[in-house]
Structure 1
């Protein structure tokens, strides 16, 4: 697991972070190839945009219900945003520094601070999202978790014609920091809540090209954090005009666990993946099969801009 050290993050420092760039309630980010609507709390779906490929068949998240969001937990208590509502959030702030660059900072009632830092990746075919979880509670916390859920609704059929894949990090299912996976996106992403069989696929089981109105649910676990410690990892979301192109982009950034989906009558594939979660890269970035190193994980521009040093090393108390 990747744990940051040498961090002095007080409430004052969090306040400074929120001042970087122009504050917004949300924004539609644009890499030039894909657009993504982000709320100030880091949930997707803003101004009618979830995730869309320029020139593609439409949005992959907005049709049907906005069943998308994330959650974080410690000491057995989860907080989350799902659709247009949230639970356990004390404050949210969203700043931007460019068309594809933004920082969402959320302080939970539990005292955790969650920072999502967005930027363009893989030549604009992906959004890179660095996720940093800071223990700003002033006390040690146990069983820190992060969850992400999303309902894939890809056009033109949206529901019955969609094919969805989940890979949890190993051939048999979840591994590394991935604790739990499910094809069921239809519940709030409380990281303490597990989900059962859905779409004919058991929880914690990989599935390839499973048909139906499905999505993906991932829970990541990072163990205990002492007061002042943090954990950081990377997620990527994007789209391409073929599954092979999307998977190639995933390979280029070192994706370790993922979900992707497409409509059999459409011409685009959409996906979400995780990197730096304690697993080897799941996709060879070199189509010749010659091993190639995974790309360096996206660094948090929001924190870097303020001079924070986030060394990815073993857990250590500040």
Structure 2
């Protein structure tokens, strides 16, 4: 007897341990199973085995599961004595939320088992207040910004993957905007209006997201550009369609930038000063001269300038020309 004890001890502890539930009909799994969070309208599955521990063949019946859970085959199955049966349960949520149900298994001769299954249906969901953004009236060469607040009220991080504008006078301030919006938070996209022409504008931005119900969000952008200018201007063309241009403050063309004034344009300076440290091009024609009146034009040292058919009516002085490249024709 003493010699048998070590053998029995080794045999007992070398037998693998499996989680199981049930009597007679045994499921080789724990009494509960939780699916990984599953995106709405997609599926997750759980595979496991059933064992008929009764020493006789019997039929196994299944019941209890309803959508969004489903047994791959819920028809009665004949299982031989001490044999196994492969089973698979799918979880296919059609909406956001927490779900739970119970699989009931019954043997026609002896035995039964239960398995409680649960899972969360998840889905990125974005909300926003308005489909229209109104910008302030903005002078050509200046900018205005408006924020669009987006809230992630579903499950998971909302991702803004692309922005398409119908007109390039609108852009997004990437540095100030958030393109990944964590679950339960609100962040902003900052849009910029930079008019290059006067007039009223009604344009759109199309926002691509990973929200399956709002994969493309279209926002209307309303704005008005006017020909009142001040401050720094860079790489702009003042066209006759936007004429006359009215200065509401001093204008500076920085070094490395340019300002081109097209034939026929009128500039009312309102007593302000236009300083060109960058390229200054005023190429009027005899039929359509450029007219600048009511202020001072200063061409900085070394600033390249091309001037033809410019009618300048200086207010408080004539054109102050420091540029050796200036060609003046009136």
TM-score (norm 2): 0.23
Higher strand residue share: 2
Q: Which has the larger radius of gyration?
A: 2
**Highest RCO, 1 vs 2 (Cα 8 Å, sep ≥ 6):** 1
